[in-house]
A and B are shown apart, each in its own frame.
Chain A
Amino acid sequence: MIIFKYVFKRTIRSKLDILMILLLPVLLVFISTEPWLPIPLGFQLYGILILFISSKLCRIMMEDREKKVVLRISAAPITPLRYLVENLLAYTVILGAINGVVITIGVFKYGIQNIYPLEMFLLLTAFSFASIGLSIAWYSLFRSSDTAYSILSGLYMSLAMLGGMLWPIEIMPDIIQRMVQILPTYWFALGMREIVFEGFSKEFVFILGILILFSIAFTLLGSRRRLG
């Protein structure tokens, strides 16, 4: 588990990383305006932040590739699959921990009846998986991490807007509503609504499944080139 351990070490190497990873999510919890859903706006915005945090975390793998660290690792008795799995596991644990902290603070601030901690944790974790996969797939398209990272913010904001994380999906045309189903952000927003209006239902499990499938598909698409 040496790679797993080093991902942790590298993630909290600089102050900016700690700030981005811990401080911003906690701050977002305190944004309590309720625009169209009976759930604090901070939790919806936190979804966007998950996208950015995962892209920041996955940059480690991209840098490994750029600095030829992957090449050196391949000379060690570590298979590419193990390298990928340990990296993914580390990212998941970090994001899971942040999700836990955010939900705990949310529960204390808004009360358990407004936050639905279990469903919220499941949704956020499933979305974390999907966003890690998305980041891996996105980075695999670029040779330079700077290029990938600079375009990333525009892409994620577009995904958030189209997916209905910033405003209700119903205000968009019907055809757009059908098309945006191919975005993971749509399913995250749908999951939020499902939690609020239906609770833990079949539909909610279906949404979690779709997010996990997104994660698998994106990881598969992105990992081959990265490891190759």
Chain B
Amino acid sequence: MTRVAKHRDATSRGGLNRARARWRRAAWTVLAAAVLWWILAGLDSLLEPLALLAVVLAGAASLVLPTGRPLAIRPRAIPGLTAYFVRASFLGGIDIARRALDPRLPIAPDFIEYRADLPHGPPLTLFMAVLSLLPGTLSVRLEGRLLTVHVLDRHSDPESALRDLEKRIHAAFEDPRQESGGDQ
């Protein structure tokens, strides 16, 4: 509880700031809705009145609905993180394809336990999702912060790969446990 209260205090800093954040969120929603409509139905149909109405209503809904906890991801970190994920999942695919097609079937499956130090919520969820795309690891179970991970080859040092991923995700998110406004 204390953590949430502290966080809210840090983000609001007066009603004006909160209102501005709300409008910014609405603008992003309108943009996202318009781009999505364009992708799905083409530019011509985006210019029809019904489409415009839907896009505007989406933005209005984000003004009216209560704001959830802000997603504390650093926008600058997104390209690097995406590039890392693409590379890691590609390596993961190559690794598994090599093992599956090798006639000797070089795998040594095992379970390991890993204690993640990421805050619950988006960072931990992202960690568990990406984990399953890394070479040779699959998230099985989460209890508190203790993860059970299935590794395909227990000799391949999966721990250091997990540490690396955790460090990257940690760097990409603003940690609410740190002092307020650590980003500025």
Answer yes or no: do A and B interact.
Answer: no
